[in-house]
Structure 1
Amino acid sequence: MGVFSQVFTLRETKGDSLSYVGVLRTDHQPVTLTAFEQLADVTYDLITKGKHDIRFPVRQLRLAVTEAAKWFMGTSDTPLGSIHHSTLGPYFSSISVTSLRARLTSLVNQLLEAPADHTRAGEIIHNIETWADQIYVSQKELLLLAVQKQSPFSYDVITWVIGISELLNALSNALACPQHLEDKLRRHAVWLVSTLSWLPDDRESVIFAESYSITENLFEAASSGYQRECREFYDACKQLLLGWARKGGRYETGWGILETAINGLVALAIREGTPAAATVLKTEFRKMLAGEGAPPPDLRVSGATSLVRSANEFRHPDRMTLSKIEYALAQLDQTAVRTLILEMAEILAPNPPAQPQPGNGDPE
């Protein structure tokens, strides 16, 4: 595309320090990095210092962020030492302690400590709700573009979507949250996390997305929603996890997406602690398998075989594991875990090849 530049200017007339001028150049990465640092700064200032109706500057700022990110993703990148990742990081990183998400996390933690009658806390929560309104639209664009370009920035988009959703849910439970904003914050969280349903379902895209732990991230998001008693968000994440099991289960990916997602859904159902939860899971699973784009017969058999092997696996609650799904399963009643996993395997592929039974509760 050659050299291009874009100048964004935002000014707040009430005197708060909300002015920004940035020049973005595809041939000048340090300038672009500075621009995204300033975009993150002005966003944070707008949320924490903005008064009255901030809807218009929020929309202008979001447009600036989205267009700049899309343009920069048009530049070449490498998997190792990703320029996309480092340059867009000030706004989108989930790792940096100085990124916008990190600063918002700290802010939300402070707001959660505020009493119910804290006027300024209520105003800031209102600003966050305004900022989050319709944010899913731009995030969907960035997600699809990042995956299309196989950019390492995909990791940032995925974890940002889930992390910001969790912050919105947490904020909805704050004592200082005005009652009329509680449902709005939770609705924004549902819409935002639901952008992950738009992940492409071709084999290459599925393998690429799973390299950034989509299955584990969806499970973690569902767990967070359950703990915060955000039922609509929790149900949405379970549907996303089931949908990802369908997409991943259509291909031999090497990631074991189908059986890992099923194990995650089993853990969630057992954690609910009611027979109805397991019944609903099995019903939804049968419906998925009967629908369009379900896993083919041969992969159902291999998936069921893996599930039987998983059901018979010894899980000690103190065992070290990097998988949050495996850790969750290890903390639950092992008889219930084994029973439900075997039932899911039977639904997936009746009579899969037999696997050895665990012996006397001891690991093999």
Structure 2
Amino acid sequence: MIDKAISNWKKIRRIPLAITSNVKESLSLWHAKSWQYLYLGKNWLFNFKSKYAGGLGLFFLAVLMIASAISFPALQNYLEPYFSQSGRLDSIRALFLSLGGAMIGATAIAFSLIMFAMQVNVERMPHGLFRKFSSDVKLLGAFTSTFSLALIITAFSLIPDKSWVSVATLATVWCSFLIILLFVLAYRRALALISPTMQLGLVVADTERDFKIWDRAIKRTTPLLRENANGGAEDDELRSKYDMDRVTYFQLHPNWTSSADQAIFYCIAFSRRYAEQGDHDVSRVALNGIVAVNALYIKTKGKTFFSNSYFFDNSLASDDFLTNTLEHLRQNIQVGVSRKDEQFIKQNLHSLLQLTQLYLSIEYGDVHAPRSHAHLVSGYLTSAVESVIPHDMADVLIEGVSLLGNAGRLIVHNDKSEYIATISEKIALIACTGAVNKNYQPVTQVAVKQLARLTFELLRSESWKVSYAIKEVRADVKLIAEIYLNIPDSQPTRVHSTSLAPYYSGTSNDTLMAWFTELANALSNAEPSDEAALRVVGHIEEWGDGLYQTEKELLLLAIEKRSQLTFDLIHWIVHITKLLLAVSCSDVCDDHHRDKLRKSAIWLINVLSWVPDDEETIKYLETFRIADNIFESAVDAHKLGCDIEALEIRSLLLSWARKVGKYQTGRASLESACCGLACLNLILELPDEKLFTDIDTYISKDDAPNFDIRSRTASDLHEEADKYRTGYGHSKIDMAMAHADQSRLSILLHGIAGHLCPETHHTEEDE
């Protein structure tokens, strides 16, 4: 009873604490919500002010004017009797005169200071802009308006009688108010004109206005041009593809881009000057202005762009405006390199990438025409990145390589895939610099990642044929790997594995293997009628074709150099084999692609059969558990329903057993391979006699293991057959043995041991 009372008392004491805690949580929640509503209100007010401040100002000004007009009769009734007395009219005349004179003086002083301050700040800009901003229409208009309003106030000192007092007073109040308002607006306008970002915005706006004028002029002239055009089938065909009226007009007026050319020159001047001063925010705005002007130019030019032809020269394919823009940016990068201004170089590289994207949107008459202008700017981008290599600017090079990868992906999605071969080659060559300059080793990793991304983008490209491009990218990755494998693989950094990790590593979600895995999973869920999925399957089949050759050469070289990349390559081969088989089993994959994918998968996994069989190599490879990897691949093939391929991989495991069984590796290598074969016999439901026959054939060959190795392995297999298993293991084979039918597994292991070394088996029976 006492314990129950104490327990009830404790529960009663907890009630106020719980109530207090709930109240605190509620107050804290309401406090947070109140601040959230306040922030939302402030953001709404800021956005509303940004959009409608000018309109609201004019609205309130109109309301005040209407209110003044309404109140005028009342003001007249009040002021007219007051100024009926003598002397009072003279005093207000004097007030108007002095106030007007003061306003005139204030206007002169204020605008002198404003204009002086503005000219001092803009005098270092290009001459054309200096003249433009020094004679700004809005600023001079504000000066004229304030001066005129001050004169009006002064003129009211001449009113003839008291009937004018109300009008003069109301007008003076409004003139004074407007003068002050114009002072503020003029001051803000001067600050805007002083701001280089505002100046650049005005340059772009003027260019846009000029292009609109030209566009309207073209539309007005089009009927005349069409009337004078030569008819005919050829002319009609051209007109169906190109805007020939616009082409003709531009040829008649070659100076139509003069305003845009000048705008580009101004933006370049601003970018260089402010970058030299360290103000990279302004230089970035200036370079963005170049992109904006180019966008306006492309929009105005419309369907008048011609692509380069492989069969004949087309003078209309060259575009001086675009070429001059690219030349200016190239010179900018040279200036940045000479100054060691890394940020300025990066900004110009970003501008080249933006222009690549912009030029890819150019409308050509021929739908299948190559995007020659985009290829031109991508060439400038690759040359610019290459020019940075000798100057030991790793950060810039990393950024440049990333931008090259972005440019390549843009071309894959907007043009023919084969045009990325040059970009891929340049990325690979830049990546190889890390082999001779340790400071550039991070560049290599970024470059390999870009090539991995390009590979993945090609796999899911909308093009129907990517075989050329995908093989070129694969060759470029191989080049990087070969270059790196010929330098020492320093420990513990593992330069080879680290540098090629984005392509070959399986320990990260940001690698080709991880992306390909997600893609294969998506294909397994695709409908058979999904054309996009079928196209991706075709790309994967093209990628898998000949893949074994590249990986075989790299694996053999990695083994020769005793590189840690060997581990990544082995696991990559096993996993990609699984993915190729998985794609071949998807519903969207047709028979043609299925056969080719499975053939590529088998050839890829059989790369492991090409490893040398000398003792040192075998001992080295056993650290990577080759038998376990081959076994895993066979089990994966069986799970996917590819039993024919699983049998071929089983043959590979038997071949590995023959290689590894000749040497004492110290890792029970032959025993592990035999256990794997026994498990595969059970998993694939093969007859026991097949395995025993394979073992007999194995030991009958000249390169069979000697008696000591067979005897020791047989003894270990007898022990393994009688071992109690807990359900866990250190390898795939151990796990498979733990989950297998133990009685059948024991029979198989005893049988293998007996066939490996009959002498030992008979000796044990005798005992």
Q: Say whether 1:65 aligns with 2:465.
A: no
- Which deviates more from structure 2 when the two are superposed, residues 45-54 or residues 112-121? 45-54
Given that residues 79 and 152 in structure 1 are in contact (C-alpha distance below 8 angstroms), is that contact kept between their aligned partners in structure 2? no
Which of the residues 324, 345, 351 maps onto 2:759?
351
| CA distance in structure 2 between the partners assigned to 1:109 and 1:53 by the alignment | 22
RMSD: 2.2
Superposed displacement of residue 235, structure 1: 1.6
Q: Say whether 1:328 aligns with 2:728.
A: no
Q: Say whether 1:292 aligns with 2:722.
A: no
| CA distance in structure 2 between the partners assigned to 1:50 and 1:280 by the alignment | 48
Structure 1 partner of 2:587: 175
Superposed displacement of residue 13, structure 1: 8.7
SS in 1 for 2:500: helix
| CA distance in structure 2 between the partners assigned to 1:300 and 1:79 by the alignment | 37
Which of the residues 390, 412, 415 maps onto 1:15?
415
Q: Say whether 1:263 aligns with 2:663.
A: no
Given that residues 266 and 337 in structure 1 are in contact (C-alpha distance below 8 angstroms), is that contact kept between their aligned partners in structure 2? yes
Structure 1 partner of 2:632: 220
Superposed displacement of residue 14, structure 1: 4.1
Given that residues 413 and 462 in structure 2 are in contact (C-alpha distance below 8 angstroms), is that contact kept between their aligned partners in structure 1? no
SS in 1 for 2:460: helix
SS in 2 for 1:49: coil
Structure 1 partner of 2:453: 41
Given that residues 728 and 738 in structure 2 are in contact (C-alpha distance below 8 angstroms), is that contact kept between their aligned partners in structure 1? no
- Give matches, 1:152-191, under 5 Å: 152-191=564-603
Structure 2 partner of 1:91: 503
Structure 2 partner of 1:339: 747
Structure 2 partner of 1:305: 715
SS in 1 for 2:751: helix
| CA distance in structure 1 between the partners assigned to 2:719 and 2:447 by the alignment | 51
SS in 2 for 1:352: helix
| CA distance in structure 2 between the partners assigned to 1:326 and 1:190 by the alignment | 24
User: Which structure: larger Rg?
Assistant: 2
Superposed displacement of residue 231, structure 1: 2.4
| CA distance in structure 2 between the partners assigned to 1:250 and 1:282 by the alignment | 19
Superposed displacement of residue 271, structure 1: 2.1
SS in 2 for 1:221: helix
Superposed displacement of residue 198, structure 1: 0.6
Q: Which amino acid aligns with 1:158?
A: I
SS in 1 for 2:607: helix
Q: 1:320 to 1:293 in 2, by over 3 A?
A: same
Given that residues 622 and 665 in structure 2 are in contact (C-alpha distance below 8 angstroms), is that contact kept between their aligned partners in structure 1? no
Q: Say whether 1:234 aligns with 2:646.
A: yes
SS in 2 for 1:327: helix
Superposed displacement of residue 347, structure 1: 0.6
Superposed displacement of residue 52, structure 1: 2.2
Structure 2 partner of 1:361: none
Q: Say whether 1:148 aligns with 2:556.
A: no
Q: Which amino acid aligns with 2:721?
A: A
SS in 1 for 2:667: coil
- Which deviates more from structure 2 when the two are superposed, residues 54-63 or residues 38-47? 54-63
SS in 1 for 2:758: coil
SS in 2 for 1:351: helix
Superposed displacement of residue 187, structure 1: 0.5
| CA distance in structure 2 between the partners assigned to 1:254 and 1:79 by the alignment | 24
- Give matches, 1:93-132, under 5 Å: 93-132=505-544
SS in 1 for 2:760: coil
- Which deviates more from structure 2 when the two are superposed, residues 137-146 or residues 17-26? 17-26
Unaligned runs of 5+ in 2: 1-388, 391-400
Given that residues 657 and 673 in structure 2 are in contact (C-alpha distance below 8 angstroms), is that contact kept between their aligned partners in structure 1? yes
SS in 2 for 1:201: coil
Structure 2 partner of 1:54: 466
| CA distance in structure 1 between the partners assigned to 2:466 and 2:414 by the alignment | 12
Given that residues 662 and 706 in structure 2 are in contact (C-alpha distance below 8 angstroms), is that contact kept between their aligned partners in structure 1? yes
Q: Say whether 1:272 aligns with 2:684.
A: yes
TM-score using structure 2 length: 0.44
| CA distance in structure 2 between the partners assigned to 1:335 and 1:91 by the alignment | 44
- Per-residue CA distance 1:37-88 (angstroms, 9 max, x = gap): 1110111111112402111112211111111111111111135331111110
Q: Which amino acid aligns with 1:335?
A: S
Superposed displacement of residue 210, structure 1: 1.2
SS in 2 for 1:78: coil
Which of the residues 257, 275, 283 maps onto 2:693?
283
Q: 1:254 to 1:145 in 2, by over 3 A?
A: same
Q: What fraction of aligned residue pairs are identical, expressed as a percent?
A: 32
Superposed displacement of residue 16, structure 1: 7.4
| CA distance in structure 2 between the partners assigned to 1:207 and 1:327 by the alignment | 23
Given that residues 615 and 663 in structure 2 are in contact (C-alpha distance below 8 angstroms), is that contact kept between their aligned partners in structure 1? yes
| CA distance in structure 2 between the partners assigned to 1:239 and 1:320 by the alignment | 27
Superposed displacement of residue 351, structure 1: 3.3
Superposed displacement of residue 355, structure 1: 7.3
Q: 1:322 to 1:188 in 2, by over 3 A?
A: same
Superposed displacement of residue 309, structure 1: 1.0
| CA distance in structure 1 between the partners assigned to 2:760 and 2:725 by the alignment | 22
TM-score using structure 1 length: 0.90
Q: Which has the higher helix share?
A: 2
Superposed displacement of residue 125, structure 1: 0.7
Q: Say whether 1:210 aligns with 2:622.
A: yes
- Per-residue CA distance 1:249-303 (angstroms, 9 max, x = gap): 11111111101100010011022335x2x21111112111112321111111111
Q: 1:273 to 1:235 in 2, by over 3 A?
A: closer
SS in 1 for 2:689: helix
| CA distance in structure 2 between the partners assigned to 1:225 and 1:162 by the alignment | 11
| CA distance in structure 2 between the partners assigned to 1:330 and 1:168 by the alignment | 28
Unaligned runs of 5+ in 1: 357-364
Q: 1:212 to 1:53 in 2, by over 3 A?
A: same
Structure 1 partner of 2:655: 243
| CA distance in structure 2 between the partners assigned to 1:273 and 1:113 by the alignment | 29
Given that residues 581 and 597 in structure 2 are in contact (C-alpha distance below 8 angstroms), is that contact kept between their aligned partners in structure 1? yes
Q: Which amino acid aligns with 1:171?
A: V
Q: 1:13 to 1:114 in 2, by over 3 A?
A: closer
Q: Which amino acid aligns with 1:168?
A: L
Q: 1:332 to 1:51 in 2, by over 3 A?
A: same
Given that residues 162 and 221 in structure 1 are in contact (C-alpha distance below 8 angstroms), is that contact kept between their aligned partners in structure 2? yes
Structure 2 partner of 1:362: none
